[in-house]
Structure 1
Amino acid sequence: MKTKRILLGSVAVLGVSGAYAADLPTKKAVPIEYVRICTTYGAGFFYIPGTDTCLRLSGRARFEYGVQGPYNRNPGTATGVGSGDYSGYRGLARINLDARTKTDYGTLRAFLRLEAASRTGIPTFHSTTQIRIGNAYSGTGVDAFGRVQQYFNTDKAFVQFAGFTAGRASSFFDFYAHDFEMIGATAGSDAASTNLVAYTATLGNGFSATLSMEDPSFRRTPIFSAQAAAVTAAAAGNSTAGIFAQTNSLTPIFVGYSADGLPTGVGFVDLIERNRMPDFVGVLRYDQPWGSAQISAAVHELNVGNAALGTFVGTNLGAALSNTNQRGIGRTPTEYGWAVQGGVKINLPFIAPGDTLYLQGAYVNGAQLYAGVSAQPGSYIQAVAGIQGAGFTPFFTDAVLNPFTNKMALSE
């Protein structure tokens, strides 16, 4: 009887519990917000959930392989980066983020492109451009120096709104640019990106005009000095120390004279360029269904540091040179280089979708990189002998300091 009461009581409790549960209010599930396609800005965009911002995520993976037969297997240098390598490799990863939002004043756009790469193999295949601007450094192992390199690069990071562009982007001076090279096997190349702030005005009928203020660091070739020769020799031997030797770039000029006007002593000037004035770029562009045309112009400041006082050698009018009796070593006058360029792009869809033909020409004075001409000793250091052949040392510098006048002579 006691057992029956317990079982009946359990049934009663279960029944009451079920009745109460049925009377409780139920909570509806939160509706799922599916990703919506955004067609306003072209294919590939979607709305970021909970916002009115459209985003496109893209990228690529790329592999390169190069082979060359060396002349011999001699070590070449003390670091062992001479001949003997047959193969070179590079793997490249790229990620693009393009975000756009409609506003009452136009489209607000933010764009980001990140790149990472791994390069190994033939020492002369190494990307010294990446070393020069701080994206990468060579491996330090005995058998890795000059043969292993990892790098990470913020290739693009800019914002566009109401005609303004600000951030890291392609120079507005460029028309056709950014060729694909595994190594700097040619005598010249362009700067892929620079830091800038610009305004573009739409003039109608396909015409637009842009005024851009750009970072000179990525368009700079060093003022020629004797130190540049040491850097060239170090770069040929893959010496990282030599590549950075221009931190003490002093060049001699004549500062002491005899009674009859002959030079009898020298002083030294610091030739490292400082970031003082930005490069100014102006562009007039014309876009039509058949293609595009563009005229560009740029102004590029050339400057050097002060005289290195107390480093004089020789005499002046018979007396030992000093800070008080040296002559001709005042502040080197600032010069301004310039560049002009014209180009035409013709669309050729009848050959294949996306095919185009570019024709362009440039003339520069004291602004070599605007013409795509770089310099091995500094600037965007290139391995001009990366593929077996007779290498040479191209001193394509922006200017040369005249040791007699203490003035810069601009290169054309």
Structure 2
Amino acid sequence: MKLVKSLVLGSAAAFVGMTGAQAADLPGAEPVEYVKVCDAYGAGFFYIPGTDTCLLIGGLVRGDYSVGEVVRTIGGGSSKPANNTGFRARARLWFDARTETEYGTVRTYIRAQFQRDSGNQSGSTAATAVGGDDSVFDKAFVQFAGLTAGLTDSFWDFKPYPTFTNPFISDRTLAVLAYTADFGGGFSASIGIEDGTARRTTATGGAGGPGFADYREQKYPDIVGNLRVKQGWGEAQLSGFAHHITTEEISRDSDWGYGVQLGAKVDLPFLGKGDFLWASAAYSSGALSYLGLGSGSGDYAFVVSGTQNILNANRLVDFEVGPGGKIRKTEAYAFNLGVLHYWSPKWRSALQGTYVDANVKTFGQNNDFSGYGITTNIIWTPVKKLDIGAEINYVKVEDKSAVYNLRDDDAFVGRFRVQRDF
């Protein structure tokens, strides 16, 4: 037995020695490179192995459950034209890659979004991307030396919003090409072009007389810019847009819509850590989407029962065409005021009021209208990056247009949300 043991140990020693000798003759193996933390851009970034690029990977999963009053149509039709309840599941995954260069930071950002709606007004059960196209990319852009190119938030929009839903606020992700100049001290200015087709709100009218008209080709993109300041007290932004309108009714005509918005967010640390007051005032001529109205208004509302479409029962169009092809633009104002308050590190609430007034006078018919909304919520964060909350939204038409065809002029929508960020 001792002889066998000696033979085994001797053979193992000889094998190890021979292997070591052979390894000494081979080129040196590359050292293992472990992932390193990158603290240049905040928590969560790490170096992509073998590069000087820092990467952040994140995402969220959200479940929304809504219930609302059914809005009935005057003059017949189903007494229950849509569902009272609806469901939405949403998932996001984003990648934020940044590299320092002699020209500054090069940033590449991708955010994929998947969504499934069911039980809502349309009855859709298909998994679709927000925005109604075939792409799952909610955002995809490059930033370099002040340049922003790709799919991202409109430079008109002013965030953060204090509540889940904001009926009369633009909240758009669309194709942009813009330049931002940083003046230091928190001051900056941006100017760029954005996809105007994503902002169109229109209805077709008959040719040969007064009525509504479809847009034609996009000859010029929307021109959007802002002036922004962000300092210790909060932030503010003044933004504006120019929106080209081209149509064909009787004769060819074109015009420019335009608008301006002032938004401010004031931090309220004396009330609670994270508290803030948020407000905006906006005017639009010829492009209702910039006020969160009509088609192309973005993802501001999770609609069930058509309750938040109460205002859409009015004639929400960007322009009208009269005799001789004359374009008459819709004018509208929107005002918003909200506050977010942390009762404790795990509990917070928001309260927001919104008001809109639109001048949609057609040639010979009054379609002006106004309305308002009130939203409040309560959110519990039992653990970090997990929100469980409920929100209720009340919308009312104050002044109805001549074409208003809904029996009810106000409605409630309630929603329950569970969201986990990572």
Contact 2:222 2:244 survives alignment (8 Å): yes
Letter in 2 for 1:289: G
Contact 2:70 2:305 survives alignment (8 Å): no
Residue 339 of structure 1 corresponds to 259
Runs of 5+ unmatched residues, structure 2: 1-6, 332-422
How far does the alpha carbon of each residue in 1:110-139 deviate from its partner, in whole angstroms, 9 at most, with x for none? 1111110112124357699x7995337xxx
Change (3 A) 1:116 1:389: closer
C-alpha separation in 2, matches of 1:192 and 1:126: 22
Change (3 A) 1:20 1:166: closer
Contact 2:176 2:195 survives alignment (8 Å): yes
Higher strand share: 2
C-alpha separation in 2, matches of 1:169 and 1:284: 18
Residue 253 of structure 1 corresponds to 208
Partner residue of 1:302 out of 245, 248, 252: 245
Residue 367 of structure 2 corresponds to none
How far does the alpha carbon of each residue in 1:300-348 deviate from its partner, in whole angstroms, 9 at most, with x for none? 001124x6xxxxxxxxxxxxxxxxxxxxx332x2100000111111122
TM-score for the superposition, normalised by structure 2: 0.64
Partner residue of 2:116 out of 105, 118, 131: 118
User: 3-state SS of the aligned residue for 1:354?
Assistant: coil
C-alpha separation in 2, matches of 1:36 and 1:387: 51
Contact 1:155 1:192 survives alignment (8 Å): no
Runs of 5+ unmatched residues, structure 1: 1-9, 137-151, 227-250, 255-265, 308-328
| 1:159 matched to 2:162 | no
RMSD over aligned Cα atoms: 4.0
User: 3-state SS of the aligned residue for 2:96?
Assistant: strand
C-alpha separation in 2, matches of 1:200 and 1:71: 44
Deviation at 1:357, TM superposition (A): 1.6
Deviation at 1:180, TM superposition (A): 6.5
User: 3-state SS of the aligned residue for 1:396?
Assistant: coil
Q: Figure out how many residues of one structure are paired with residues of the other and give that number.
A: 316
Contact 1:190 1:370 survives alignment (8 Å): yes
C-alpha separation in 1, matches of 2:289 and 2:19: 79
Contact 1:384 1:392 survives alignment (8 Å): no
| 1:361 matched to 2:287 | no
Q: Report 1:131-170 matches (<5 A).
A: 133-135=131-133, 153-170=136-153
| 1:176 matched to 2:159 | yes
| 1:42 matched to 2:21 | no
| 1:103 matched to 2:73 | no
TM-score for the superposition, normalised by structure 1: 0.66
Partner residue of 1:279 out of 222, 231, 237: 222
Partner residue of 2:319 out of 399, 405, 409: 399
Residue 232 of structure 2 corresponds to 289
| 1:330 matched to 2:258 | no
User: 3-state SS of the aligned residue for 1:275?
Assistant: coil
Contact 2:212 2:320 survives alignment (8 Å): no
C-alpha separation in 2, matches of 1:334 and 1:289: 45
Deviation at 1:95, TM superposition (A): 0.5
C-alpha separation in 1, matches of 2:151 and 2:284: 24
Residue 234 of structure 1 corresponds to none
Deviation at 1:391, TM superposition (A): 7.6
Identity %: 36
Letter in 2 for 1:405: G
C-alpha separation in 2, matches of 1:282 and 1:347: 25
Letter in 1 for 2:156: F
| 1:210 matched to 2:190 | yes
Higher helix share: 1
User: 3-state SS of the aligned residue for 1:24?
Assistant: helix
Larger Rg: 1
User: 3-state SS of the aligned residue for 1:26?
Assistant: helix
C-alpha separation in 2, matches of 1:98 and 1:405: 52
